[in-house]
Structure 1
Amino acid sequence: MTGAHRDGEGYREDWIPIVQDHNALLMVLEFPKEDYPGSSSYNQGNILDASGDANPPEAWTFNVVEALFEAVVRDTDSGQRDYALFGHSAGGQFVHRFMEFTEENHVRVAVAANAGWYTMPDQDVDFPYGLKNSPLSSKELREAFSRRLVIMLGADDVDPKDTLLQRDRKTDVQGDNRLSRGLNFYQASRDAAREGDDFNWGLMVVPGAAHEHQKMAEAAAPFLLSPR
C-alpha cells in the first residue's frame, strides 16, 4: 500500500528486487486520487463519508483488498488461502486500520510502516483518532489484537517539521514525530489488551531508517515472505 503520493510504480520498483527470488506474486494497489480523494477515503478506509457520518461496511475501501485477493485466486486457479499486507506512510495508516476494522480477512501477516498517525485504541477519543463513535466494539478490538500485525518504525523518522506529517492538536497528543507516535500506539494497544487476550501484535524499530520506503520494505520482507 503506497504513501500519500499514491505512486504505485515507484513502490513496485522498490519491491521487485526483494521478491524476485521468491515464489511470490507482488501486487501494488495505487488508489488514484481522482477516485479516492483525500485521506478519508484512502488512509482511513472510507469508514466515514465527507460529512463525517459512518459509511456502511460494504462501502469501506478495505474491501478492495479482499476482493482483489479473491479475484486473483479465482482467475489463476490458485489454492492460496492467505496473503501478506504491507503499507508505508499513508499506506501504513491504511494497513493498521484495515487490521483493526476488517473483521473477516485473509491476511496472514500485516506490516504497517512509518504511519503518520493512528486510530488509537481509546474509547474516549473520537474516531478517526480514537474509537469513540466508531463501528468497532470492544469485543471486536480484542479480536483485532489476535491478528498478526507488525508496527514497523524507522529509528530516524523523527522530523517534526516533515511537510507530509500531519501536525495539529488531535495528532500531536500521539507524539510530535512518526517514531514517537508509533511507539505510543503500540504501547497503548498493549495496555488496552485485557489480561488473557491473545495479543499478537509486534513492534520493530529499524536502525538507520528515516521516512524511507525502500529501507522499510527490505526490513519487512522477512515477515512478509515467510510462509508462516
Structure 2
Amino acid sequence: MRMLFAMLVSLLSFAASAALEQGYHTYDYSLPAATGKNGQVMKVWYYKPSHYTADTPVLFVFHGRKRDADNYSAQWKALAEKYNLMLLVPEYSTQLYPGANGYNLGNVYHAVSRAEVKGLVVPKEINPKDQWSFTLADKIFADFKTREDSHATRYYAYGHGGGSQYLLRMLMFYPEAKIKMAIVANPGWYTLPSRDERWPYGLRGVDVIDTATLKRFFALPLTLMLGDHDDDFNHYLFRNAPEANRTGIDGRFERGHYYFNYARDVTKALNTPLNWQEHTVKGAEHDNFIVQLDAVQAIMGDINESK
C-alpha cells in the first residue's frame, strides 16, 4: 500500500510539473483561494516556440475589452515563433472579472451594483490586494515556472486597447509586478495620476496609492505606443465622457500625448524621474496587428541589450 501511495504521489507530481506542449494551445490555471475565486479556472492561451529553452524570454499579452484572448494569441503566435518568445495570454473572462471594474480597472474595488461593475460609480469598499486582477499576472508567471524549466525572473508585458488600460493601471497600483518592460498600446482613456479627478479618471479618494507608489510607477521601463491614425472620436470602443474628453476629443492618439505630457509634468513637480518613452506607430489605426510589429522590435531591442 505504501509503495502504491508513493507511486501515485510521484505520478501526480510529474503531471503537475510536466512541460507544456510545443506550439499553440491552452491550459487551465486554477485561481488561488486568496483571489476570492474559490479555485475557479482561468484559461491561458499560449504559444511555446519550437526552439524554446530555459533562457527563452516570457511575454504576457493582455487582450482588449472584448476578452478575446484567442484573437490576440493567434495574432502574436507567429512573432513568438520567429523571435523565440514564450507567449502567455490569460483570458480575463466576464464570468471571472465582469465589467470595466473587473478588468480595465483591476477589480480593486468591490463592485455590487450594475453601475459599479461598469465603472460608472465608485464602489465604497476596496478589495484585498490579492483579489485585484492586477496581481494575477505575477501569480500566473509563478505557476508557469512550475510547469516549465525557465530561468526567467521577470516577464515582458504588452497590452492593446482595453488590455493597455489594464496594464497601465496595473503598474500604477502594483508597481512591484515582475515586469521587465511594459508596452502600453493605444489606450482609449486614462486614470490620470492626479487627485483633481475622481476615480476612475483620476486618483481622488484612492488612498491605496500614495506618492511613493506613484514615484515607483514613473520609474518603471514603460513605452506608450500610439498609432498616429488612431484618431476616430466615433470609434465604437472610444469612451465619450466629460472626464475622458478633457484629455482629448480627437481619438486615442491625442489622449495618449496628453497623458504622457501630464505624467511628465507630475514627475517634475515631484522631482522624480520619468523612465517612460513615447513611440508613434506610423500609419496605424486602432489595430493590434500593425502595432505589435513595432512592439516586438522594442522587446527584442531590450533583450539584445540585456545579453
Shorter-chain TM-score tier: over 0.9
Give how far 1:164 is off.
0.8
What whole-Å deviation, never above 9, does each CA across 1:142-195 have from its counterpart, x for those lacking one?
Answer: 111110111111100000011111101121111111111111111000110036
1:189-227 deviations in whole A, cap 9, x for unaligned? 011003642211111111100000111111111222332
User: Which of the two has higher C-alpha Rg?
Assistant: 2
1:73 aligns with 2:145: yes
Q: Which residue of structure 2 aligns with residue 201 of structure 1?
A: 276
Q: Which amino acid aligns with 2:67?
A: R
Which shifted more, 156-165 or 70-79?
A: 70-79
**Cα distance between partner residues in 1 of 2:232 and 2:176:** 36
CA shift for structure 1 position 16: 1.4
CA distance in 1, matches of 2:106, 2:255: 20
Q: Which whole-Å CA distance do the structure 2 matches of 1:77 and 1:218 have between them? A: 28
2:178 paired residue number: 106
Q: Using structure 2 for the length normalisation, give the TM-score.
A: 0.72
1:6 maps onto 2:79 in alignment: no
Q: Which amino acid aligns with 1:70?
A: A
Distance 2:198 2:94 in 1: 26
RMSD, aligned CA: 1.3
Q: 2:228 aligns with which of 145, 155, 164?
A: 155
Out of 258, 266, 269, the position equivalent to 1:192 is 266
Paired residues, number: 228
- 2:289 and 2:274 map into 1 onto residues whose CA distance is 28
Question: Residue 226 of structure 2 aligns to which amino acid in structure 1?
Answer: L
Pick the aligned partner of 2:253 from 165, 179, 186.
Answer: 179
Q: Mark the runs of 5 or more structure 2 residues left unpaired by the alignment.
A: 1-61, 113-122
Question: Quick check: 2:185–2:225 contact (8 Å CA) kept in 1?
Answer: yes
Corresponding residue SS for 2:89: coil
Q: Distance in 2 between matches of 1:57 and 1:149?
A: 23
**Corresponding position of 2:83:** 22
Moved more, 107-116 or 71-80: 71-80
| Same amino acid, percent of matched pairs | 29
In the alignment, which of 148, 151, 161 is matched to residue 89 of structure 1? 161
| Distance in structure 2 (CA, Å) of the matches to 1:66 and 1:151 | 21
Residue 182 of structure 2 aligns to a residue whose secondary structure is strand
Q: For residue 6 of structure 1, give the secondary structure of its aligned residue in structure 2.
A: coil
Question: Where does the alignment leave 5 or more consecutive residues of structure 1 unmatched?
Answer: none
Q: Matched residues in 2 for 1:169 and 1:22: separation?
A: 42
The answer to which structure has the higher strand fraction is 2
